[in-house]
Amino acid sequence: MKCADVQRVLPEVIENRQDGELEAHLKSCPACSELVSDLKLISSEARQLSASDEPAPRVWVRIAAELRAEGVIREPEAATPAPATTSRRSWSAWWLVPVAAALLAGASYIVTHKPAPQVAGQQGPAVTTPAAPASQPPATVAQAPAAKASSPQNAKNREVAEASSAEDQQFLSEVSQRAPGMRVTYENQLRSVNNYIRDAQAYLDQNPDDEDARQHLIEAYQQKAMLYQMALDHVQ
Partner 1 sequence: MTDPKPGSITEAEAIERAKQGDEAAFEILYHLHKRRVYSLCLRMLSNPAQAEDLAQEAFLQLFRKISTFRGESAFSTWLHRMTVNVVLMQLRKKGLPLVSLEETLETEEETPKKELGAQDVKLTGSIDRLQLQRAIDRLPPGYKTVFVLHDVEGFEHNEIAELVGCSIGNSKSQLHKARLKLRDYLKFMRAEKAGNT
Site residues for partner 1 per CB under 8 A: 3-4, 6-7, 10-11, 14, 31-32, 34-35, 37-39, 41-43, 45-56, 58-60, 62-64, 66-68, 70-74, 76, 181, 184-185, 187-188
The beta-carbon contacts of 27-32 under 8 Å, at least 24 apart in sequence, are: 29/3, 31/3, 32/3, 32/6
How far apart are CB 134 and partner 1 at their closest, in Å? 28
Task: Indicate the residue among 51 and 139 with the shorter CB distance to partner 1.
Answer: 51
Encoded amino acid at 66, one letter = E
**Using DSSP, how many helices (H) and how many strands (E) does the chain show?**
9, 0
How far apart are CB 5 and partner 1 at their closest, in Å? 11
Task: Indicate the residue among 16 and 48 with the shorter CB distance to partner 1.
Answer: 48
Task: Indicate the residue among 11 and 137 with the shorter CB distance to partner 1.
Answer: 11
How far apart are CB 56 and partner 1 at their closest, in Å? 6
How far apart are CB 76 and partner 1 at their closest, in Å? 5
Count of C-beta atoms within a 10 Å radius of residue 61: 23
Q: Which residues, 6 or more positions from 20, have their beta carbon under 8 angstroms from its beta carbon? A: none
- Cα 8 vs. chain centroid, distance in angstroms? 49
